[in-house]
Amino acid sequence: MMEKMTPAVPPSTPATPPLDWWRGAVIYQIYPRSFQDSNADGVGDLPGITDRLDHVAALGVDAIWISPFFKSPMKDFGYDVSDYRDVDPLFGTLADFDALLARAHQLGLRVMIDQVLSHTSDQHAWFQESRLSRDNPKHDWYVWSDAKPDGTPPNNWLSVFGGSAWQWDTRRRQYYLHSFLTSQPDLNFHNPAVQDAVLGEVRFWCEKGVDGFRFDACNHQVHDALLRDNPAADGGDVSTVRADNPYAMQRHLFDKSQPENLVFLERLRGVLDAFGAASIGEVGDEHAPPIMADYTEAGKRLHMAYSFSLLTSRSSPAHLRGEVEALEQEIARTGGWGCWALSNHDVPRIATRWSVDGQADPRQARMLLSMLLSLRGSVCLYQGEELGLPEADVPFERLQDPYGMAFWPEFKGRDGCRTPMPWVAADAQGGFSPVEPWLPVSAAQRALAVDVQEADADSLLHATRALLAWRRGSAVVRAGALRFLDTDADDVLVFERRLPDEPGAERLLFAFNFSATAATLPVPDGWHGACIAPHAPLTGARLDTDTARITLSPFGALCLQSSSHEH
């Protein structure tokens, strides 16, 4: 019988009123290893981030999300935490983090940090104690199970990184669960003491003054207590991994996304609310929208969540519309809030992933960024996306990612999106470091460096600043409702944004051409007499009021404005 949950320990600082700055916010993701090296060891660090915060603030984003910088053996580059309360020496010190936090706040940037709660490193003190015996104080802090009579694992669960999700431990003579690498054992969230402990780690950073958290793999935090086998996928869609990964052969009904996780998330929200901290959850599931809606139920759990729905290779307007509409329908049920991303540290960069012919096109990069910033919800913008960086081609001998090494050559891993940020085009290392960095600097990316784009008034960098300023100043874009409109052009996405129905309420109509060829479409019903929105920095389109037709150039984008709501 499960032990009754103990209440969260009251915070040591006075409660602050909840804030809603996150609603419609744009959050800039920083991957510390690759942002800026300040001490000439070839790896980015916290002082390097501090040195480059002026660039981030000048973009006009609301917050930064910093990927893990905690003490770690770096088997998964910080997503295997061995001490939640200390900075890994590779990245600096706690004092360096304090300085970063202070500088960000001076610049008007909120700071969100990555928290990996579903698992730890096998070097964490909790696991080191847990594996000692079957009766030590932390014996059930992780998911342990006996082998089947024939010595095989307890069930058929698979690791996201390939192979069985179970690893044999010779000391305990039991298997332990690892949803990711074997060096990343899963915590047992059915144990109330584990929940108390991880909430204590969150509270530590709240007390240091962070503004929020991105919770990694947050739907992996609870497993099925009966350890039931997952059924076969039967040809279903497992969109969170590649089709050549055996993980895609199962429907993951029991190893993640369990209902008990909702109880933990409510406890977590209690800690966050006590400090006025915001949260965003990563939901990796085959059918993410209902889970995202439940996880972000208004005032109860996480503030917002994102999935991998736009982080795959599927780039059609129909796919995008389907994913957005599915989430809109679900969050209408719970009052939840979504967040959208086109790139991050786990997937190939959007400029290459959604390119028409494998070659990044700056017109497409601008259109996609315009589209992303026009959606309802919050937005995560990955470092270098403001430059339109393509995926880097990292040779096998320079690979660092164990995921890529395991699936080479069909899958090259995640290194291609994690290469160093290019600041100076003429510098061999892109201004990232004075020495050879941990991953090679891509020549294609270096050509798009910050200094080159600063000098070009028509660059994507300048367009990004204009788009972000426009979004920040538009109430209808940050918070208005969204409705898609049908069109005969398969490569064109059309939707409208509007504030609640009031006399004269502003409406905006958006049209985006996903094709490398021009497209023409009629002005939708109810939009006759509208004009091109004067402050929307979208390009590559023309409105002919005489014929009531819209012409979109290749990868063109248009925004119409109307104060009427007749339709």
DSSP 442: P
CB 553 within 8 A of CB 540: yes
Which residue in 323, 321, 296 sits closest to 309, CA to CA? 323
How far apart, in whole angstroms, are the C-alpha atoms of residue 38 and residue 46? 8
State how far the Cα of 435 lies from the Cα of 430, in Å rounded to an integer: 11
**Cβ neighbours of residue 367 closer than 8 Å, sequence gap 6 or more:** 512, 513, 514, 540, 555, 556, 557
Give per-residue burial for 373-394: e unless 16+ CB within 10 Å, then b. bbbbbbbbbbbbbbbbbbbbeb
CA-to-CA distance for 157 and 201, rounded, in angstroms? 28
Residue count of the chain = 567
If one counts every other C-beta atom within 10 angstroms of the C-beta of residue 269, the result is: 20
Cβ atoms of 246 and 144 within 8 Å: the answer is no
| Cα distance from N-terminal residue to C-terminal residue, the chain | 58
Ramachandran region of residue 526, left (φ > 0), alpha (ψ -120 to 50) or beta? left
Q: Which residues are catalytic?
A: 216, 282
Collapsing DSSP to helix, strand or coil, 166 comes out as strand
Q: Beta 557-562 vs 549-552: how paired, if at all?
A: unpaired
- Burial label for 27, CB within 10 Å (0-12, 13-18, 19+), is buried
Cα of 403 vs its chain's centroid, Å: 18
Query: Coil, strand, or helix at residue 456?
Result: coil
Which amino acid does the sequence have at 391?
A: E
State how beta strands 481-484 and 144-145 pair: unpaired
Helix (H) or strand (E) holding 508: strand 507-513
User: What is the C-alpha to C-alpha distance for residues 9 and 199, in angstroms, rounded to an integer?
Assistant: 9
Q: Which of 142, 240, 249, 155 is nearest to 198 (CA)?
A: 142
DSSP label at 375?
S
How many H-runs (helices) and E-runs (strands) does the chain carry?
A: 15, 21
What is the C-alpha to C-alpha distance for residues 81 and 86, in angstroms, rounded to an integer? Answer: 10
Instruction: Return the DSSP state at 399.
Output: -
Angle (CA) 514 516 519, round 5°: 70
**In a 3-state reduction of DSSP, which class is residue 405?**
helix
Bridge partners, residue 551, by sequence: 520, 542
Which residues, listed in sequence order, are joined to residue 167 by a DSSP beta bridge? 176
Alpha helices in 172-247 (DSSP H): 192-208
